[in-house]
Copies of this chain bind each other. A is one copy, B any other.
Amino acid sequence: MYQQLVDILGQEKVSQSETQIYHHSKDESYHSPVEPDIVVFPSCKEDIVEIIRYADTNSIPIVPFGAGSGLEGQAIPIKKGISISFQNMNKVISFSPEDMIVTVQPGVTRLQLNDMINRHGLFFSVDPGADASIGGMVATNASGTSAVRYGTMRDQVLDLEVILPNGKIIHTGSLAKKSSSGYHLNGLFVGSEGTLGIFTEITLKLHGIPEAILAARCSFSTVDDCIQAAHSILLAGIPIARMELVDHISIQKVNEYSQTSYPVAPSLFFEFHGSQLGVQEEASIVEGIVSDLGSEDWVTETNSKKRALLWKARHELAYAFRHQNPNLKAGGADVCVPISKLAEVVVFARSLIDQSGMEGGVLGHVGDGNFHTILLYDQNKPKQIKEIENINDQIVNLSLSLGGTCTGEHGVGLGKIKYQQKEHGDALELMLSIKKMIDPRNIMNPGKVLPHKID
């Protein structure tokens, strides 16, 4: 395999070095690493076409690898084969500030993109926290704290250039902001986690940087009150830009880690985007709502450094949990439910964590009905991993029974495959048929998204 890929791509684009093989064996999830046979570093779409042709002819699995920041094992080559690194496909192909759109290669990262476009008064809205690659974010339909206002990756993608397993290069959309032409392939490929084709160009919508940004936070005596407040804010039609729940255990951890003195209580963190007057007005409406619901510690900031400080607790949560036990890893749930059911599921999740005796917090994108648990565990203690899986399982099953989804933004990868039948029912059969039709030899990231029937 090594010599053949060197013949096709040139020596500098192929590696079997221990470091590269190890680096491409894992992501940031709790799933066990598996080493690829080889890592390739294409620099253009022609390279990708050649790699796919070689892999398809020889039935060798290919697994795209972005920034390695995935949380469900999407980039782990569980059937070995070829790991495709996009580190050399990190160019901006075209940028039209007047159309507020940009076309990038998949290896461009979120912060790299924002660095380039911010000076034009524009920003890319999806913020999953990590400096993920754009390709990886498309592959998992990533979202994050700002999705409540600006939507998920799927809402930003205007067009994808995709290389299919048969070597054909297709475009799934156009540069038009909306279209009713043909079947909507954008939607199908966003979130397909490398199982249907490899993206080589990605065209995204951008947004104007708001004139004013205001950050705020407040706390309540119960998580239930937090969610009630979030719910009332949405019903009032406030176009909130971010609205995050952090539970009291998480606040306590942050205080210990960052020497801060946040009130140790379930808290909401807000961001408002708009005009100077507009954000003040929205914030004052929200202040009224949270105060009617019993919150007494509303704080706001507009200065950019002070805003960052105010949000520190939210941003440093994962670090805070790991701080005291740097050898432990963090894993957790990612369900999304209708907002009227959110309190029930969050309270249930919190009680499971408490009963387990494990250290863990609950945080959530409450405006979307999406939340995560952070649970600390020791990778070498299978009992702890079992316990996390058991807790996740109960949270997912409750969420599905309430009309929700097993993953709001992390994707299916390896960890959510077992819920696909329950969540999608007979639609799963159609998904499997689409997969088989597009990738009959099952070379595209095999073992991900869909259950084993396909293998």
Interface residues, chain A, with chain B CB atoms under 8 Å away: 96, 98-101, 121, 140-143, 147, 151-152, 154-155, 164, 168-172, 174-188, 190-192, 196, 207-211, 231, 234-237, 239, 274-275, 277-278, 281-282, 285, 336-340, 368-370, 402-412, 416, 419-420, 423-431, 433-435, 437-438, 449-450
Contact = CB atoms under 8 A, between A and B. Distances in A.
B409 A176 contact: no
Nearest to A435: B183
Contacts of A183: 188, 191-192, 196, 431, 434-435, 449
A321 B110 CA distance: 49
A430 B170 contact: yes
B340 A169 contact: no
Given A191-B183, A281-B278, A369 B177 contact: yes
B403 A178 contact: no
A339 B99 contact: yes
Nearest to A369: B177
A411 B208 contact: no
A98 B339 CA distance: 8
A338 B184 contact: no
Nearest to A431: B183
Contacts of A450: 182
A88 B192 CA distance: 38
Contact of A336 (B100, B178, B369): B178
Given A176-B370, A207-B237, 17 more contacts: A141-B179, A147-B178, A169-B426, A170-B424, A170-B427, A175-B338, A176-B336, A177-B339, A178-B368, A179-B408, A180-B191, A182-B420, A182-B431, A183-B434, A187-B188, A274-B278, A277-B278
Contacts of A190: 184
Contacts of A410: 180
